[in-house]
Chains A and B, each alone.
Chain A
Amino acid sequence: MFETAIRQLRMAMAMIWGRPINPRNLELLVDDVLKTLEEFGEPGDDVQQLLEGPFADPKDRKEFQNRSLQLTARRLMRVSPYYQKLFATHQVDPDNLTVDDLPKLPTTRKRDLQADPHAFLTKDGQPALTTRTTGTTGTPTEIWISRYEIQLWSALSALSGLLRGEIGPSESFQVNISSRATAAIQMNLDVARLAHARTRILGIIDPEESLTSLATTSDDAPTQMSTYPSYLARLINTARRMGMTRRDFHLKRVISGGEILSPALTQAAIETFGVREVSDTFGMTEVLPVSGRVCSHGHLHLDLNTGHIEVISLDTDQPATPGELGTLVITPYYPYRECMPVFRYDTRDVVRVLPDEPLHCEFAASPGTSAILGKADHLLRLPDRIVTPREILEVYEALPSQPWPARFSAQVVEQHIELTIPEAALTGITRSQVERRFTEAGLDVRIADGSVVSNEEMAHMRPIRADLLETTFAGRK
């Protein structure tokens, strides 16, 4: 009891003073949570307050944000070559920086990271692990992470997961994400280790192999699975083809991220795997440990304790107003990010700013936006409105042909959207019926004669994460 109080105090002091948080102290706190759960079966009173952080109150929040931004900027000015130059050019005074000054500063984009990655490494940073992200341009970006960061993020994640009752010694995780997503994999391993849970890292392997693992009858059968929506779709298709039903699985929860998750696919996952919940999450190596999750009302709620969140208008770089579309711009705070930090990182992920009114969802204590609607470069700009990839995807994946993982290409032709789809999407439904579905959803979408292509051609035109298949001896048969 006393030790735990001291550990919490140490963590709180580090957060208040902006000093590095001792990851070992945090890991011991995770142990304390495990012991608490073992003794009582649940955390004590006021756990909600602990989870939401002391900054859930809007008044305190602004002051906290200013302080954290100043702290982060001061450190970047000292140790980050890239931001030293940028702040000098824009005459940023870190000591007096406030939330309101941010729009005057340029954002950082992936291309800046690609152009000169070394300029982003801090002088005192100790890189330990890198995640290589391959964009569509083909130029890989390397994001370096330190030992401190990986330990800290994992412990923070384990702590909140345990307190929310989402992880624990009785859980067994199956991880079907790309083996190259090293930071995510490492965190999965560490969180499970800290929470005394089991982990199976499988990667993006042959779906049959993943399903065999999911359907294990022994008591270490996976209870939770992390994956991309496109791979989830392939698992659902394969399971149905193999005649597997919810009785074959022990899954309680699917954690999805990295791509847009549609309601149709969520429903299919619930039916096929018998899961209670499909959590839709947001995470990006560049801005970790800031992450988010979608609530039952469909908002994306990002963690405000570890970073500053902005939504900037698509065309003006100014803060987007309620109801407007904008891209998510994230600044992870020091001391949560130290090795290769970014400031005002434009994720290019588009969201809509929610109306300026109180929320009533389960995460209402922290502000939300709409769920991710797609990448800014994939927006379809019609004369009178902007159509987001999510709008098309949600209608498309709800087609009776269940054409998932969704592969289509869409472009604006004059006043409407031209859709190119694979033959498989027209199983049991005609082209005009598909068009009508879109019209009913308020979208003027047309499919031209030549716009129905073979499945192979479509796969080539529109790659998805589930295509990054990793081979195994079993999978090669």
Chain B
Amino acid sequence: MSSELLFEIVVLLIGTSATSLGALWYFQRVRLERPPIGVFNSRDVFIVLTFIIALPLLYLILPGIVLTGFLVLTFTSALYVTFRGVIPPKYLWFLIAGVLGLNIIVAYTLLGATFGLQLYWLLNSVVALCASIGIANLYVQGGMRMRNVAMFAVLLAFYDGIFEFIIPITQRLADRFEGMPLDPSIGFAWGGNNANIGLGDLLIYALFTIAAYKGFGRRGFTVAFPVIIVFGALMPSFAPLVIQSVTRSGIGIVVPAQIFFGPAALVSYLWLARQAPERSMREWYRAQASARQQATETAVGVGSVTKVIAE
């Protein structure tokens, strides 16, 4: 196994795990505000998909400075969603401005040095991680079901396939972002190797993890997480060995991850849905409440035992 491939596997494993587990951790702890009326439905999937398809095309034709402005706007709103309920507004704006500003400065000044490149990737990765966690939670807490996520992943698989093999812009896109501030991906550079995983993929994995957990509980997670690791990180990494056309040494390696993950996501959903009906947010709240109730009762039980012993 080449060091390039090994490095990529490590980056992808860290990226996908951090996003999936981070999103789950957030989902269990933070309640996002939702509008008085409205549930995330399949039509919203198409709208998000349209954005995911249209934006990269826009990225290709926009001048650098406009593209950066666009990314600043996107990440500002995404980070705002993520941290609104966690950090008081006055600090939040300061923090967002600081992180994004630093990211831009590093991208323009320090990329020549290895340390600079690594700092650049570190900052990018943190921003992309937090953004995908927040947005995924916004959708799932807004009513997006695992059914919708699976559909989303399958559609993205087609999209990835088309843009990889029929209209090959994926690589051009990766090149376009190379060295630009706010590259929407998690990645790293080490010993001349460079690997990253895009925000679209990260968002799908975050969505898949929490939608599975919300809809099917612990079992949902134990199915979803391995599927993400195998089909979202490992298989796309080994794919270049099989599909030679995908590799381009030297510059970052691009992987059409959804081609593997989409069908796997659909099969996992269908399998889980056969075992039990998918839970709504309401049923999830109820399950949470009864779990808390049980925890309290257990604690009380332990407390009275202690008391008996003490007496």
Contacts and interface: CB of A to CB of B under 8 A. Distances in A.
Contacts of A4: 35, 37-39
Given A1-B142, A2-B44, A39-B280, A44 B38 contact: yes
Interface in A1-51: 1-5, 8, 29, 32-33, 35-36, 38-41, 43-47, 49-50
Nearest to A43: B36
A163 interface: yes
A44 B47 contact: no
Nearest to A8: B37
Interface string B236-251: 0000000000000000
B38 A36 contact: yes
B36 A163 contact: yes
A5 B285 contact: no
Given A1-B44, A40-B282, A32 B36 contact: no
Interface in B242-288: 280-282, 285
A4 B143 CA distance: 13
B43 A44 contact: no
Contacts of B282: 38-41
Contact of B143 (A1, A8, A43): A1
A39 B143 contact: yes
A33 B37 contact: yes
Interface in A38-95: 38-41, 43-47, 49-50
Interface string B38-77: 1111011001000000000000000000000000000000
A388 B33 CA distance: 49
Given A1-B39, A36-B39, A44 B34 contact: yes
Interface residues of B, number: 18
A163 B38 CA distance: 12
Contacts of A2: 43-44, 47
B39 A35 contact: yes
A49 B35 CA distance: 11
Nearest to A159: B37
Q: Is the interface of A mostly helix, strand, loop or mixed?
A: helix
Interface residues of A, number: 23
A46 B43 CA distance: 24
Given A1-B41, A1-B44, A2-B47, A40 B281 contact: yes
Contacts of B39: 1, 4, 32, 35-36, 39-40
Nearest to B32: A45
A320 B162 CA distance: 73
Nearest to A7: B37
A1 B36 contact: no
Interface string A119-154: 000000000000000000000000000000000000
Contact of B37 (A32, A38, A41, A49): A32
A347 B248 CA distance: 82
B33 A1 contact: no
B37 A44 contact: yes
Interface in B124-143: 142-143
A231 B37 CA distance: 37
Contact of A45 (B34, B43, B280): B34
Nearest to A49: B36
B131 to A, nearest CB: 19
Nearest to A44: B34
Interface in B16-36: 33-36
A44 B33 contact: yes
Contacts of A46: 33, 35-36
Contacts of B34: 40, 44-45
Contacts of B43: 2-3
B30 to A, nearest CB: 14
A44 B37 CA distance: 6
B61 to A, nearest CB: 26
A29 B285 contact: no
B281 A44 contact: no
Nearest to A46: B36
B285 A32 contact: no
Contacts of A163: 36-37
Contacts of B35: 1, 4-5, 44-46
B280 A40 contact: yes
Contact of A44 (B36, B41, B44, B280): B36
Contacts of B281: 39-41
Contacts of A38: 280, 282
Nearest to B138: A1
A115 B303 CA distance: 80
B44 to A, nearest CB: 5
Contacts of A5: 35, 38
A47 B37 CA distance: 8
A32 B40 CA distance: 11
Nearest to B144: A1
A36 B36 CA distance: 8
A32 B280 contact: no
A133 to B, nearest CB: 36
Contacts of B33: 44-46
Interface in A162-190: 163
B38 A41 contact: no
B14 to A, nearest CB: 32
A36 B37 contact: yes
Given A3-B43, A41-B282, A50 B143 contact: no
B38 A1 contact: yes
Contact of A1 (B40, B280, B285): B40
A33 B39 CA distance: 9
B280 A47 contact: no
Nearest to B282: A41
Contacts of B41: 1, 3, 35
With most chain A CB atoms within 10 A of its CB, the pick from B34, B37, B47 is B37
A50 B280 contact: no
Nearest to A45: B33
A343 B281 CA distance: 47
Given A4-B37, A40-B281, 12 more contacts: A1-B40, A1-B41, A8-B37, A32-B39, A36-B36, A38-B282, A39-B143, A40-B39, A41-B285, A44-B34, A44-B35, A163-B36
Sorted from nearest, which 6 A-B pairs have the closest CB atoms?
A: A41-B282, A4-B38, A44-B34, A47-B36, A1-B38, A39-B143
15 contacts: A1-B39, A1-B41, A2-B43, A3-B43, A32-B37, A32-B39, A36-B36, A38-B280, A39-B282, A41-B281, A43-B36, A43-B37, A46-B35, A49-B36, A163-B37
Interface of B: 33-41, 43-44, 47, 142-143, 280-282, 285
Interface of A: 1-5, 8, 29, 32-33, 35-36, 38-41, 43-47, 49-50, 163
